[in-house]
């Protein structure tokens, strides 16, 4: 941690002070408190025979790892469609794959936009979306990816401005990481209105 802190300071021309040292000490105490709180929470749930959302997710995943359970559950679904897939995590992806693997014909259909992944605080991981897209593409080729690049809602002038702006914001230089997403322009099916400002920028 000290080495990382020094590297950070060297990169940004800052120095560590007393507040930083106190914060480091408090972080270790906070981590210990967090471990104790989790243990007490687990004890209370067990005593009351209760499960929370994370428990349900973990136990569903564990159940589906059992061949007999997985076969029975799979027989109840001819196909699986998952919307807002950019908001999934790896455990949820494992559950979905247990029910409908990407290499099975006409079993799995996912809809999502990696640029809209905003639920990281809730465990969503945009790299799961990216990897799933790659899994499907590897099995079925480029034709399996259907870009939803037409807007029926926004007019053309507004869409052109978005394309101009976001193509620059989402520019990825050099080697791309799995979760990095380049901007793909959209097209509007609504004409630009002939009245009023198309965009108003407020400083």
What 3-state DSSP class applies to 185?
A: coil
Residues 6+ apart with CB under 8 A from 78: 107
> Does the structure show a pLDDT above 70 at 158?
yes
Please, which residues bridge with residue 110 across strands? Answer: 82
Each residue's pLDDT tens digit, 49-84: 999 999 999 999 999 999 999 999 999 999 999 999
**What does the pLDDT read at residue 181?**
72
Burial 50-77 (b: 16+ CB within 10 A, else e): eeeeeeebeebbeebeeeeeeeebbeee
What DSSP string describes 134-180? HHHHHHH-GGG-----EEEEEEHHHHHHHHHHHHHHT---SSPPTT-
Name the residue with higher pLDDT: 201 or 35: 35
**What does the pLDDT read at residue 164?**
92
Can you tell me the mean pLDDT for 8-31?
90
**What does the pLDDT read at residue 196?**
75
Chain-wide mean pLDDT for the chain?
91
- Give the predicted TM-score (pTM) of the model: 0.74
> Does the structure show a pLDDT above 80 at 176?
no
């Amino acid at each position: 941690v000290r080495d990382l802190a020094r590297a950070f300071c060297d990169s940004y021309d800052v120095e560590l002070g007393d507040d930083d040292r106190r914060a480091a000490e408090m972080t270790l105490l906070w981590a210990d408190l967090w471990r104790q709180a989790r243990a007490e929470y687990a004890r209370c749930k067990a005593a009351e025979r209760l499960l929370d959302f994370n428990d349900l997710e973990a136990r569903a995943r564990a159940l589906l790892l059992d061949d007999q359970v997985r076969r029975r559950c799979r027989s109840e679904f001819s196909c699986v469609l998952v919307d807002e897939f950019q908001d999934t995590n790896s455990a949820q992806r494992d559950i979905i794959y247990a029910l409908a693997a990407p290499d099975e014909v006409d079993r799995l259909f996912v809809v999502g936009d990696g640029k809209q992944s905003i639920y990281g605080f809730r465990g969503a991981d945009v790299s799961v979306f990216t990897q799933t897209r790659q899994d499907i593409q590897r099995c079925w080729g480029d034709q399996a990816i259907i870009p939803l690049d037409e807007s029926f809602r926004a007019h053309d002038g507004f869409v052109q401005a978005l394309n101009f702006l976001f193509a620059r914001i989402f520019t990825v230089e050099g080697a791309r990481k799995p979760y990095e997403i380049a901007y793909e322009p959209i097209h509007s099916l609504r004409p630009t209105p002939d009245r009023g400002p198309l965009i108003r920028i407020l400083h």
